[in-house]
Structure 1
């Protein structure tokens, strides 16, 4: 998993509330267990018409936001079914940070496991960030995980809270497998001891 330290990039405004995981990545794209290749179908039903043509009005189809790395979203982002493909699709598109007033619990947890930073801020802060994101590609935000701040293009800064353990995992690029592998010497030592103490096992 890639480390998350400081991210400066384009933020796309998506003020819709209750964006569920089926909107993020529709069920017909859940056949794969690969984490790559899902970005093209991110928000599929909002991005494309029935013939597969891009819908020009959708924010991520607009030239200013095609390379967005930050998403400013409405309340209750990631609700619905508990599909890990949702953060996979966001990450494959290039989104590394989602900022909202609230998230569905399972989606929120899955983000951390896949290198995406979900940030919760009060509505007043979201309104400022949404307005800044609406300025387009020239308005680049900065997310500083170490200092736990989000800064707008004009320097307005907001502090966010994050669980210390999750923060350290993101800073060091450690997912569940990485955390386990970090304990490899202790695991190897334990297995050697057990092999000597219980050779019949």
Structure 2
């Protein structure tokens, strides 16, 4: 995984609650065996019309939202089934940070395990960001070390994250790489057996 310490990027607003993993990546696209290539199918049923053309009404298809790296959404994002393909699709599309007032537990863990930062803010902070994003495109700066978010208008918010996940993200370690940090101790133990 790539290290994640700080990101300044375009924020994209998806003001919808209870977005489930089948909307994030519909089941018919789960046949791939690699972790890449899912971004083209992200929010497929919302992004495309039945004839295959882009749905110009969908938030992510707005020209000023192209290239967004930070997704701001409403409560209970990632609910539904526990498919790991959901964070894969979000990452492959280009999102590195998801900001919401609440996440489904398994989705939250899957994001962290795949190098994406899910940030939980208060309802008031989320409403500020959602309203701002519906009025104009804007950028946010996310600082994982300081656990803070700010914009160019003076908005500042802090977010919680468990120390374990913060360490893994900042170092770019997945669960295998954190185990390999103990390789000498593991080898020494194996010599005892």
TM-score normalized by structure 2?
0.96
Match of 1:197 in 2: none
Q: Cα distance, 1:33 vs. partner?
A: 2.5
Q: Which runs of 5+ in 2 are unaligned?
A: none
CA shift for structure 1 position 135: 4.5
Where do 1:23-172 residues align within 5 Å?
23-137=23-137, 139-172=138-171
CA 1:86 to 1:41, structure 2 compared with 1: closer, same or farther past 3 Å? same
Aligned-partner Cα distance in 1 for 2:139–2:49 = 30
Q: Name the SS for the 1:134 alignment partner.
A: helix
Name structure 1 gaps, 5 residues minimum. Answer: 195-201
Aligned to 2:179: 180
**Matched length:** 193
Q: Distance in 1 between matches of 2:184 and 2:93?
A: 36
What do residues 24-70 of structure 1 show as CA deviations (whole Å, max 9, x unaligned)? Answer: 00001111231100000000100011221111121211111111100
- Which structure has the larger Rg? 1
Q: Take 2:12 and 2:82, find their aligned partners in 1: how far apart are those partners?
A: 24
Partner of 1:199: none
Across the aligned residues of Structure 1 and Structure 2, the Cα RMSD in angstroms comes to 1.2
**What is residue 20 of structure 2 aligned with on the other side?**
20
1:191 equivalent in structure 2: 190
- For residues 184 and 33 of structure 1, the distance between their equivalents in structure 2, rounded to whole angstroms, comes to 29
CA distance in 1, matches of 2:4, 2:30: 26
Instruction: Report the Cα offset of residue 179 of structure 1.
Output: 1.1
Secondary structure of 2:7's counterpart equals strand
Q: Secondary structure at the match of 2:119?
A: strand
8 Å CA contact 1:98–1:118 kept in 2: the answer is: yes
TM-score normalised by L of structure 1: 0.92
